[in-house]
Structure 1
């Protein structure tokens, strides 16, 4: 399997990009509206420039730019220079820098840096998962079920799905920190019944798989990466319990 030959180099790159965002965090900066009405800031662009200049070997598909033809390569980098830009704009530390390596449509390694929290996660299905250098692992499913929900994108479909679950408690987190929480055994389940893109999930899925968790769409299939349209289907991420077990009964 293709993987990252020098993970320390990519981890340091993510941290360097994260450090650049702190130059703008809770300061004065411009906020622009993109065509999909999502926000874009100078921090996104600064982090994207650092990552794009530093990633070796493969084409890059980033939320903010592309370098090389990722569609013609079975291996490419997938980047979200600031995941959780709404949190960043609001002054919340719950935003991340995400870098994933994709091979044949699936994430094989990823790193997530939360610069305002001074926390970094990395790993993949063949390497295990790590938090600030220490190995992490999902835990046995708890009762009540610990269910994660988006802090900025919680919608009626997701609320209906959560309401139909067994006894549970709802935990709200921003950005890719939800995948990290499951990977660390702090939560059991994250249903996403709203739009998000490949760069929002690639690094988180790699780390979650490395920690023993998994993701499936509502048809029970794994997410596919490198599509012409980067939009993900609705999905469920979980820890020890197979996410298929949480699919709505048809």
Structure 2
């Protein structure tokens, strides 16, 4: 599995390179279009999808893939999957279009409804977070790898709460009322999981729509770094279900 993790890190970085090729074009040449749910789709999403799908087919031809940019396999078939890849080739397409660099490539391996391997790669930041179940979480940056762990706030310290830059939520204000002092840290995509994992934030409460592929990779990175990840109303196999839309969830280092 450690070898597989390194291979997936390389694959995510290759997908990131494909994204950057499009990112560096003029915005009028990025192929921006609307999907059926009115969310944006760009040439970068499709380029990364192609890189990842071809790479996974070579690495693990017998493991099925559930990806945002591919036709979803119907639940009657998917419910029998004991193991599958969960992929978002470009998480944070709105951030990509805004050109703020806060977008990622997400690849997770799910076994028995739980993430056991995950990679989050931020192409513009040239930074990759990765985790393997039971082995902890790490960051790869500028040719070096180092372990990461969550950080708990000291007594009296301001609680840092990470939130979505593109999806603010009115429910968040009610949740934050329990804290005497807090600081909001807005950031896009699955980078929110990674900020908690690295100790740069303490909480990531999500009161808004996310999909399975938005959370799988960040989930295992945060968890292996010492955070708890809890989905409202779900049991201990949150990724084995018919509904692709996630309920509210909380990522906490407290």
Relative to the length of structure 1, the TM-score reads 0.90
> Structure 2 stretches of 5 or more lacking a match?
none
Report the Cα distance in structure 1 between the residues aligned to 2:48 and 2:185, rounded to whole angstroms: 29
Residue in 1 that maps onto 2:153: 141
Whole-angstrom CA distance in 2 between matches of 1:225 and 1:233: 12
Q: 1:233 to 1:23 in 2, by over 3 A?
A: same
What secondary structure, in the 3-state scheme, does the structure 1 residue paired with 2:19 have? helix
Counterpart mapping for 1:50-61 below 5 A:
50-55=51-56, 56=60, 57-61=62-66
Alignment check: 8 A CA contact 2:231 2:238 kept: no
CA–CA distance in structure 2, aligned partners of residues 61 and 88 of structure 1: 22
State how far apart, in whole Å, the 2-side matches of 1:146 and 1:112 are: 21
Report the CA distance between 1:163 and its aligned residue. 3.5
Alignment of 1:207-218 (within 5 A): 207-218=221-232
1:209 shift after superposition: 1.1
Q: CA deviation at 1:217?
A: 2.4
Give the structure-2-normalised TM-score.
0.88
- 2:14 is matched with 16
Quote the residue 1:6 is aligned against: 4
Contact 1:121/1:180 (CA < 8 Å) preserved in 2?
Answer: yes
- CA deviations on 1:186-217 (whole Å, 9 max, x unpaired) are 11000000110111100001111111111112
Runs of 5+ unmatched residues, structure 1: 242-250
The number of aligned residues is 238
SS of 1:93 mapped into structure 2: coil
